[in-house]
Amino acid sequence: METLVTRYGIARVEGDELAVVDLPFPNLRWLLKAGRTLAEVEQAPVTRRLPKTQLDEVVVPPLGLDTTVWGVGLNYHGKAALTGRPVPTEPILFLKPATALAAHRATLRIPTDLTTQFDYEAEVGVVLGRPLSDARPEDVWDAVAGVLAANDTTARDVMKATGTPTLAKGFPGCAPLGPTMVPISDLNDPNAIPVASWVDGEQRQNSTTADLIFEVPDLLSWLSRYVRLEPGDVVLTGTPPGTGQDLNDYLRPGQEVTIAVGGLVPLVNTVA
């Protein structure tokens, strides 16, 4: 069951309709922080129905725009092989500022005075459903509420110049998440989640999380040794090969980027 948040409230996708439900939370992050689960969205009574064709008009960020987002660099075997860099022995982690978060269909405004190498990165975002601290890998999946699509945009030239992922990935309103979220229980195989990207309709990336260097249980377990992850926090899992860096073809104003994760409604944004 895909879950989303509309300007009328939390909703679920039912065939060709969006079923807005009676739940007293502004977004899914607050639902999870209250100790509730996505299963309650499936069971809640419906207050109104909208055609699914209106999704782009009514959807708002599923977790709001103030959640904590962690990212990991070079976490696909295919990407490491393409770059010729050695496989990391520990995750390369960074934080994304909340001001970088953006919504489905939002315009990504490139600061052209700072970068000419603005890149897309299709990623599976893992959303925490309960606190996670110093966890064993085998306990991680029980703490995960679901997954969503993410575009971990990166200014490659800023990364090279500063060596600081947060600066290269933290431009205001350039890190979109969503638009929908699905619980782990609905995935065919949580260890092989499909992830792909398109630029102006041309497919650039196509892989699954089966190619991860640090799989989700190991990645979140390792991170939880150092920080306490909270309900609604997002951990991005890395991007497969096929980015603009790999093709020497960076994003330009006017281009449309589409990110697909599993069977979720794709995340779409336009560059300006």
**Taking Cα atoms as reference points, which of 210, 235, 17, 254 lies closest to residue 124?**
235
Rounded to 5°, the CA angle 132-180-202 comes to: 115
CA–CA separation, 102 and 171 (whole Å) = 10
Is residue 102 packed enough to be buried (19+ CB in 10 Å), middle (13-18) or exposed (0-12)?
A: buried
Q: Please list the residues that pair with 17 across neighbouring strands.
A: 14, 51
The domains of the chain are located at 3-60, 69-271
pLDDT less than 50: residues of the chain: none
**Taking Cα atoms as reference points, which of 171, 63, 67, 60 lies closest to residue 105?**
60
Task: Return the pLDDT at 83.
Answer: 83
Task: Return the pLDDT at 19.
Answer: 98
CA–CA separation, 76 and 53 (whole Å) = 35
In a 13 Å sphere around the CA of 262, the CA atoms on its Cβ side amount to 29
DSSP state of 142: G
Does domain 69-271 fall under CATH 3.90.850.10? My reply is yes
196: phi then psi, degrees, rounded to nearest 5: -150, 160
Task: Return the pLDDT at 198.
Answer: 98
H or E element at residue 237: none
**What is the bridge-based pairing of β-strands 17-21 and 202-208?**
unpaired
Task: Return the pLDDT at 84.
Answer: 83
Residue 65 has which token pair? 């725009």
Q: Please list the residues that pair with 196 across neighbouring strands.
A: 206, 260
Task: Return the pLDDT at 85.
Answer: 83
Neighbours of 164 (CB within 10 A): 12
Neighbours of 251 (CB within 10 A): 21
Q: Tokens 């994304």 sit at which residue?
A: 96
Task: Return the pLDDT at 148.
Answer: 98
DSSP state of 90: S
Task: Return the pLDDT at 216.
Answer: 98
